[in-house]
Amino acid sequence: MTTESNRQLGPVAIFDRDDTLLVDRHYMFDPQDIEWVPGAMEVISLLRDKGFRICVATNQSGIARGFFTEAQMHRFHDAMQRQLVSAGGVIDGFFHCPHHPEGTVAEYAVVCRCRKPAPGLVEQIDRTFPMDRARSFLIGDKPRDVQSAEAFGIAGYLYKGGSLLDRVTEILELTTAHQRCDIP
């Protein structure tokens, strides 16, 4: 049995998908709609080089609303991964919430613990990639992303456009400075 004290903890960088890693085209499932925000591919490589696991935590209510299926979403994520690999990057895991209480697909039209701002997706990531909470963070474009991170006990940051690489570089500088201040 794995306990908190004997788990191999490491830093994990968690990204929201739409309007954080990708330009949002609203309910995306067609791989032709993939357009990376400026600096997204580079930041994934940078963080991997710094020892971070990279994960995506994304609400995908389009599944509950019947706009696309989980299989179509998985194909979309596979296409994202192929593009990253060809550019020298990789995402360790894609975690999604297919639920929405007002959905039209009965099995997904529920209130759940995985829909951000609830912390369920971050909890799933932690079970798969045990997190060093002091060094891990989530970045997204909406307050619910930050709330999800904070509910789990890791830092959450907003991204409001521009270079994602610049934003993550700022975050890394802040966390490094904070860690230096905590050293006795």
For the annotated catalytic residues, the residue numbers are 16, 18
Strands 137-140 and 93-97, how do they pair?
A: unpaired
3-state helix, strand, coil in the chain (%, to 5): 40, 15, 45
Residues whose CB is less than 8 angstroms from the CB of residue 153 and which lie 6 or more positions away in sequence, other chains included:
133
CB atoms within 10 A of CB 124: 18
Residue 155: strand pairing partners: 137
Select from 85, 94, 100 the least CA-distant residue to 27.
100
